[in-house]
Amino acid sequence: MVAVTSYIIVSAALLGIGIYGLTVKKNAIRILFAIEIIVNAANLNFAAFTRYMNPPQVSGQVIVFYSIAAAAMEAAVGLALILVAFRINSTIDVRKLSKLKG
């Protein structure tokens, strides 16, 4: 089958894509996309390592389970924050929002 290094390479590629989106994009919702991509990369890494351990364990899957739940909560609260920020400032550009004006 596939060596575990391939999973690490895919996970690192997703991490790179996520970090690019996090640092370069100005739209707050795209930054949220990037955060979800990064969390998914980490989940993939955990799941791959827990399968390739000797002997394979189920506890790694529990970590991914908690991670999925925590990411869902973080997305919900993050989107609520974006909506409130939009309501107050009428913009979702993080350059303008980070100035904390008005």
Name which of residues 23 to 52 contact other proteins (CB under 8 A): 23-27, 29-30, 32-34, 36-37, 40, 43-44, 47-48, 51-52
CB of 2 to other proteins, least distance (A): 5
CB of 99 to other proteins, least distance (A): 15
- 2 part of the interface to other proteins, by CB under 8 A: yes
Residues in the chain: 102
- Helices 4-24 and 28-52, packing angle to 10 deg: 170
- 97 part of the interface to other proteins, by CB under 8 A: no
Name which of residues 56 to 95 contact other proteins (CB under 8 A): 56, 58-59, 61-62, 64-66, 68-77, 79-84, 86-88, 90-93
DSSP string of 34-77, one letter each residue: HHHHHHHHHHHHHHHHHHHSSS--SHHHHHHHHHHHHHHHHHHH
CA–CA separation, 12 vs 2, rounded Å? 16
